[in-house]
Amino acid sequence: MQIIHDFLTVNEYSRPGRKLNEVLGVVLHWTANVYANAKETRDYFESKKTGMGGYASAHYIIDQNGLIVAAVPEYEVAYHTGSSLRDPKSGKVYTDEARRLFGKYASESSSPNICTIGVELCPKDNEGNFTDATINSAIDLCADILTRYGLAADRLITHHDVVGWKDCPKLWTEKPALFEAFKLSVAEKMLRG
């Protein structure tokens, strides 16, 4: 597992510099951009600091070639899974699953951003498929994070399963069985060490 640490500048829009309250889960995303690699996605988050493009970031971005870029230190807040719209199923801002996993942080007045680590995967095509290199690095990274925080693989969740209306990552929103298989691979990796 190769990680390049290339942290964003502390700024209001992508790296607020605030500490996470605690770590209760890891949220998986796709960048929705086949034309950007991990470094370019990191630079896109950096460009948010001008205030011209809203709030967005993640702790880690995994390249199509498997390289992992660390954009925000894992003990700080990144802006990857907050929402102001309602989940169509629960009628609340966050899903039933998010409220089960993240409790008081998944509420009208708080956001799971303050208790989760966000991981972005760069897709290889517009359908949202990932290369084997991306998936293998994601398995290694997630297993490492969960082990260090004493969490089980059921603490992995997609962005879609946190906010409901968001089609992210597209592949695992459309084919949830593939995300279950991913979680199983992470659990196996944690057992092997």
- Pick the piece of the chain touching Zn ion (CB under 5 A) from 45-53, 71-79, 125-133, 163-171: 163-171
Please state the closest distance from residue 168 (CB atom) to Zn ion, in A: 3
Out of 15, 59, 99, 159, the only residue in the binding site for Zn ion (CB under 5 A) is: 159
Contact 137, 67 (CB under 8 A): yes
Q: How is residue 21 written in tokens?
A: 């309250």
**From 29, 48, 59, 155, residue interacting with Zn ion (rule: CB under 5 A):** 29
What is the C-alpha to C-alpha distance for residues 75 and 95, in angstroms, rounded to an integer? Answer: 24
Residue 121 DSSP SS3: strand
Cβ-count burial 122-159 (b if 16+ within 10 Å, e if not): bbeeeebebbeebbbbbbbbbbebbeeeebebebbbbb
Coil/strand/helix, residue 119: strand
The least CB distance from residue 38 to Zn ion, in Å, is 15
Closest contact distance (angstroms) between CB of 29 and Zn ion is 3
Strand runs labelled E in the chain: 3-5, 25-30, 60-62, 68-70, 116-121, 156-158
Least gap, CB of 178 to Zn ion (angstroms): 16
- Based on the shown chain and the rule CB under 5 A, indicate whether residue 59 belongs to the binding site for Zn ion: no
Residue number with CB closer to Zn ion (15 or 159): 159
> Out of 56, 145, 168, 171, which residue is the one contacting Zn ion (CB under 5 A)?
168
Contact region with Zn ion (CB under 5 A), list: 14-22, 24-32, 84-92, 171-179: 24-32
Residues that bind Zn ion (CB under 5 A): 29, 159, 168
